[in-house]
């Protein structure tokens, strides 16, 4: 049995793209128009057969399991037959796919692409423009997508006569069975590029890195995908482009944590400011905003600034900015400060505090829980 991997010079775990690349390289070297002679012609048929098997997932799986899809007498309805072959055997040529499949077009739609892009939180709040570099397939500038060297053309395939498919008679328990296969010489196209383009090897496209500016709508979050129609890979043979999907990841921010469309920040204040009240500045995406602390503010309390959060992705309006208050207790006191605090404790009757156990729903954790419930 032929070793199709060795024929193409690829490993058994080669990808479909590696198999295609190896075939194109060998085909350019052994093509009858480039390398005439019976030996080259025989070798060309050999690599064409290898590519026919390894480029077809069903045939490749069959070969990997030890069966040769082209072995005489090995067919029947076992290895080497597809469903359309079975239909052809019972109902005649083309029963599995209409009255003959015919040559397949060289122009095909390009595949869709997916890239990931990080954006700052501010862009997620208001929307904006960002630029990314994408590595994609573009139309070959040398052949303009046609696949041939400038000034050259194509000729009708001698093996299939332009039909893009060949027929093969095999023996089975039903007797002789005629099956239709894509032509190995032209790969089902019906014609052969006489002089493949040196830059794209006849594919009509090349890899290129290009910048792309995209408009990011306000309100996107990590995981949001933006669809850009027609910005994906160009198709083989100069076919239409696929689409490009940009998956957004919002970068962490030094001040705010996003929860839904609300922005949460923690403000640390000294004990005296919490007791006496104060006005504190908070830098938001809408500029500096004043946070008014009423006298007696407790640790864990939250102050809400309405409508300064993230723009809603669907619908109008914005979320809120929520400032959580963290009251700092002094850890180092000089003698004068300590004396003043003892005087304050005496004035408030707190020299010997016994401590009070707060109900489960009214302590610091309860306040935080209530603050989030209010959201």
For residues 229 and 122, state if they share a domain: yes
**What pLDDT does 348 receive?**
84
Residue 330 · residue 271 · CB < 8 Å: yes
Of 248, 237, 234, 238, nearest to 113 by C-alpha is 234
**What pLDDT does 230 receive?**
92
Residue 82, in any domain of the structure: no
**What pLDDT does 184 receive?**
86
Q: What percent of the chain has pLDDT over 90?
A: 48
Intervals of the chain under pLDDT 70? 1, 31-36, 67-101, 170-177, 355-375
Residue 96, in any domain of the structure: no
Distance in angstroms (rounded) separating the CA atoms of residues 65 and 173: 23
For residues 200 and 304, state if they share a domain: no
From residue 309, alpha-carbon distances to 84, 114, 127, 153, 232 in Å are: 59, 29, 13, 61, 34
Residue 159, in any domain of the structure: no
Residue 281, in any domain of the structure: yes
Beta strands 113-119 and 244-250 are parallel
**What pLDDT does 360 receive?**
62
For residues 130 and 216, state if they share a domain: yes
For residues 264 and 226, state if they share a domain: no
**What pLDDT does 268 receive?**
94
**What pLDDT does 101 receive?**
61
Residue 47, in any domain of the structure: no
Any idea what the CATH number is for the domain that residue 353 is in?
Answer: 2.60.260.20
Q: Which helix (H) or strand (E) holds 175?
A: strand 175-182
Distance in angstroms (rounded) separating the CA atoms of residues 204 and 106: 9
Residue 189, in any domain of the structure: no
**Rounded CA Rg of the chain:** 36
For residues 227 and 304, state if they share a domain: no
**What pLDDT does 308 receive?**
96
For residues 223 and 116, state if they share a domain: yes
Residue count of the chain, please give it.
Answer: 375
**Domain housing 233:** 106-153+194-251
Look at residues 251, 267, 286 and tell me which one is the last residue of a structural domain. 251
From residue 27, alpha-carbon distances to 41, 44, 137, 231 in Å are: 10, 7, 22, 31
**What pLDDT does 74 receive?**
40
């Amino acid at each position: 049995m032929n070793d199709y991997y060795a024929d193409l010079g690829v490993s058994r775990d080669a990808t479909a793209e590696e198999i295609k690349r190896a075939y194109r390289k060998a085909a350019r070297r052994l093509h009858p128009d480039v390398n005439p002679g019976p030996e080259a012609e025989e070798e060309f048929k050999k690599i064409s057969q290898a590519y026919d098997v390894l480029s077809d997932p069903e045939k490749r799986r069959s070969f990997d399991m030890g069966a040769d899809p082209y072995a005489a007498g090995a067919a029947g309805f076992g290895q080497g037959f597809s469903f359309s072959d079975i239909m052809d055997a019972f109902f005649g040529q083309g029963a599995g796919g209409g009255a003959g499949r015919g040559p397949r077009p060289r122009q095909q739609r390009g595949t869709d692409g997916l890239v990931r892009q990080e954006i700052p939180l501010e862009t997620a709040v208001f929307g904006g423009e960002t630029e990314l570099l994408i590595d994609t397939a573009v139309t070959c500038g040398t052949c303009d997508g046609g696949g041939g060297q400038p000034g050259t053309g194509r000729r009708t395939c001698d093996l299939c006569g332009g039909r893009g498919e060949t027929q093969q008679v095999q023996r089975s328990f039903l007797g002789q069975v005629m099956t239709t296969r894509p032509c190995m010489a032209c790969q089902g196209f019906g014609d052969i590029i006489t002089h493949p383009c040196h830059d794209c090897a006849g594919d009509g496209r090349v890899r290129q890195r290009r910048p792309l500016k995209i408009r990011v709508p306000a309100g996107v979050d990590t995981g949001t995908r933006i669809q850009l129609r027609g910005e994906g890979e160009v198709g083989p043979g100069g076919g239409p482009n696929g689409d490009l999907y940009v998956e957004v990841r919002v970068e962490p921010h030094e001040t705010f944590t996003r929860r839904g469309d609300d922005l949460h920040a923690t403000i640390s204040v000294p004990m005296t400011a919490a007791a006496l009240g104060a006005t504190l500045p908070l830098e938001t995406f809408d500029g500096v905003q004043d946070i008014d602390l009423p006298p007696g503010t407790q640790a864990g309390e939250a102050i809400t600034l309405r409508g300064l959060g993230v723009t809603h992705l669907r619908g109008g309006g914005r979320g809120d900015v929520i400032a959580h208050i963290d009251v700092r207790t002094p850890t180092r006191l000089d003698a004068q400060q300590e004396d003043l605090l003892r005087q304050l404790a005496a004035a408030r009757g707190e020299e010997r505090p016994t401590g009070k156990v707060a109900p489960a729903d009214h302590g610091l954790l309860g306040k935080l829980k209530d603050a989030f419930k209010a959201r």
